Amino acid sequence: MNNFLKMAVFGLVVIGVYTLLAVVYVPSIPTESHEEDSAARPPASEDELVLLGEKVFGGKGACALCHNPTGGRAPLLDDIAVRAAERIKDRRYKGGAANAEEYIYESMVRPSAFVVAGYGVAGTNDTASPMPDVSSGAIGLGDVEIKAVTAFLQKRAGVPVTVIAPGKEAASK
């Protein structure tokens, strides 16, 4: 064999070996869809739902980045499940919620349905909210996660949780 052929064969063998190693050893990266809920199994009880909500509130949902006592960029949500009733009755309210559960859910997906006085985007006279729709974009919460956060905020306000755990719903069907 001439030298060129030797080198060509050697090159192919090296490529072959590395291809094999790559196939065998490089773990596949699991693809993560933003539309998916972080709960592998939908919460089946109120406790599980509230727990997931707490996790999402401080984590993926990024809520605590704005809604916290030290940052001051957003109103505190400790008693939002109680205050929701006033929001719905406010003449500036543009949403379609009939109760606190619906108001909290709506606040996450349509923040400008009601803008808390003093917190609107500058120059909009409190008609546009600076809060993002958390069901899309970078945060991208799923329906179960939004329901879970709603349940968590009801629990935190000390009122009965009216959100039904999606896993419980499915089981009773």
CB of 161 to ligand HEC, least distance (A): 15
Q: Which CB sits closer to ligand HEC, 50 or 77?
A: 77
If one asks whether residue 157 binds ligand HEC (CB under 6 A), the answer comes out as: no
Q: Say if residues 148 and 108 touch (Cβ distance below 8 Å).
A: no
Which amino acid type is present at position 150?
Answer: T
Q: What is the CA radius of gyration of the chain?
A: 25
The separation between CA 16 and the C-alpha centre of its own chain, rounded to angstroms, equals 44
Select from 44, 51, 74, 159 the one that contacts ligand HEC (CB under 6 A): 74
Count the neighbouring beta carbons within 10 Å of the beta carbon of residue 20: 10
If one asks whether residue 131 binds ligand HEC (CB under 6 A), the answer comes out as: yes
Interface residue list for ligand HEC (CB under 6 A): 61-63, 65-67, 73-75, 77, 80, 83, 87, 104, 107-108, 111, 114-116, 119, 129-131, 134, 149
